[in-house]
Amino acid sequence: MVEIGRLSKCFETLQEETLPALGVADTPWARIIAARLLIERLGERDANYWWDSQVLGSFGSDTLSETVPRTSARAQVSLATAVGKKTENETINSGNAVSLFDLGPFVESRIQREIESIEGDRDLTELESLSIEINETGWTDSVFEVNSEAAIHTNGAHELGSVDVEDLEKDSVREDVISQLIAGYGSATKHNLVVPYYSIKS
């Protein structure tokens, strides 16, 4: 329970303080970026090993601070997004899907605009110490205040339904889809990645 509290606090800090201080002021996009960052961090090599990455831990932070000191936070966000997208795409193995790290052209263009606006010297240190192991499912419900509609009892890719990609331009549809994608990650545990996704209606 203490660990869940730490995750909740980190998500809240990212969304309400860190990202706005870096220039990501639009709340819906800050929520998506914050969720991606927290899930990416939990999936790193020193935590639950969902992907072979150290972007948001102390190693990644130190390396990027040395190589790109003025844009290290932007680089971390961009690299974290790329790692999540690559892993999801490989797991889903379909070019016709929407997932947490790949929400379709409209949403991704808006998120990319926010990422490109990141500036300032505030870093993402609140993520560095979060090498927390997830051993029970359902952890996203409390951390992100979402409720999954159905439990996922498998690893790998899991289809939640289908969506018209143009409908993601509507706030209500987009928010529901994102909440369900985040909730779907709640079935992922240590060494057991679950990638929730929606197929795109043709």
Q: Over the stretch 32-68, which tens digit does the pLDDT of each residue have?
A: 999 999 999 999 998 999 998 888 876 656 565 655 5
Beta-carbon-side half-sphere exposure of residue 180 (alpha carbons within 13 Å) = 21
Q: Please state the domain count of the chain.
A: 1
Kindly list the distances between the CA atom of residue 60 and the CA atoms of 21, 63, 77, 179, 198, in Å, as whole numbers in the listed order.
Answer: 21, 5, 11, 28, 31
Structural contact between residues 185 and 194, judged by C-beta atoms closer than 8 angstroms: yes
Q: Euclidean distance between the first and final Cα of the chain, in Å?
A: 43
Task: Please give the Cα distance from 140 to 127 (Å, whole number).
Answer: 16
Mean pLDDT rounded to a whole number for the chain: 87
What is the C-alpha separation between 66 and 142, in angstroms, rounded?
A: 36
Enumerate residue ranges in the chain where pLDDT < 70.
1-2, 58-71, 120-122, 147-154
Q: Give CA angle at 89 (87, 90), nearest 5°.
A: 65
Structure tokens at 137: 């499912």
- pLDDT at position 151 is 57
> What is the model's pLDDT at position 191?
94
Q: Which residues span the domain enclosing 120?
A: 2-200
**Buried b / exposed e along 145-175 (16+ C-beta atoms within 10 A):** ebebeeebeeeebbebeebebeebeeeeebe
